């Protein structure tokens, strides 16, 4: 028997335009996220890995990963039971299961695109900008994107952060 386990990023939330998004690294079994280990602000992703800055654990990301997993299981289970109900000539129950499965599919899709689930608010974007050490020019671009009146320039020392890559190499930026 083959057992597939490892770790991966799940729970993509709080997209910040032009900068990145928040995701949590989970220990998984058969690609089912089980144990959250670290939340990251992902700056870039590619087929060979990702570059990120570790941030504090995000309950929103963790719960969204588990919610999306539950929706996938719900879609699969309800679809199978709907087919079984239709084949046993229990059309009413089959229709109910099919409608709920479609509702789960809608909730899954919405979790990737609805504002409060997918996109960071202005305040959250600024908190993430602080966490990753975004420079003043980047903050001004965020102000423009969110339609916020530009702030007065403050002299503020931005701490230098390290970018963590999934291949355990570190680079300063």
Average pLDDT of the chain is 87
- What confidence tier does 15 reach under pLDDT thresholds 50, 70, 90? very high
What is the distance of C-alpha 20 from the center of its chain? 11
pLDDT at 43 over 70: yes
What is residue 49's predicted lDDT score, i.e. its pLDDT? 84
| pTM for the full predicted model | 0.79
What is residue 159's predicted lDDT score, i.e. its pLDDT? 61
pLDDT at 171 over 60: no
- What confidence tier does 173 reach under pLDDT thresholds 50, 70, 90? very low
Write the pLDDT tens digit of every residue in 58-108: 999 999 999 999 999 999 999 999 999 988 888 899 999 999 999 999 999
Number of Cα atoms under 13 Å in the Cβ half of residue 75 = 14
Question: What percent of the chain clears pLDDT 90, i.e. is strictly above it?
Answer: 53
pLDDT at 172 over 70: no
Write the pLDDT tens digit of every residue in 125-136: 999 998 888 888
Q: Where are the domains of the chain?
A: 5-172
What is residue 150's predicted lDDT score, i.e. its pLDDT? 64
CA distance 22 to 11: 8
CA distance 75 to 63: 18
DSSP 149: P
């Amino acid at each position: 028997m083959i057992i597939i386990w490892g770790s991966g990023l799940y729970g993509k939330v709080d997209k910040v335009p032009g900068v990145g998004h928040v995701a949590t690294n989970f220990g998984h079994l058969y690609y089912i996220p089980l144990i959250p280990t670290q939340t990251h602000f992902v700056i870039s992703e590619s087929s060979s890995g990702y570059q990120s800055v570790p941030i504090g654990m995000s309950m929103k990301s963790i719960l969204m990963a588990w919610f999306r997993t539950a929706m996938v299981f719900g879609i699969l289970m309800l679809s199978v039971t709907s087919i079984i109900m239709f084949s046993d000539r229990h059309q009413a129950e089959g229709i109910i299961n099919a409608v709920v499965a479609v509702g789960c599919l809608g909730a899954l899709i919405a979790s990737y695109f609805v504002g409060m689930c997918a996109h960071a608010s202005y305040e959250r974007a600024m908190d993430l900008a602080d966490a990753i050490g975004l420079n003043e020019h980047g903050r001004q671009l965020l102000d423009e994107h969110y339609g916020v009146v530009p702030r007065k320039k403050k002299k503020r020392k931005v701490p230098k952060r390290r970018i963590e890559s999934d291949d355990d190499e570190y680079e300063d930026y």
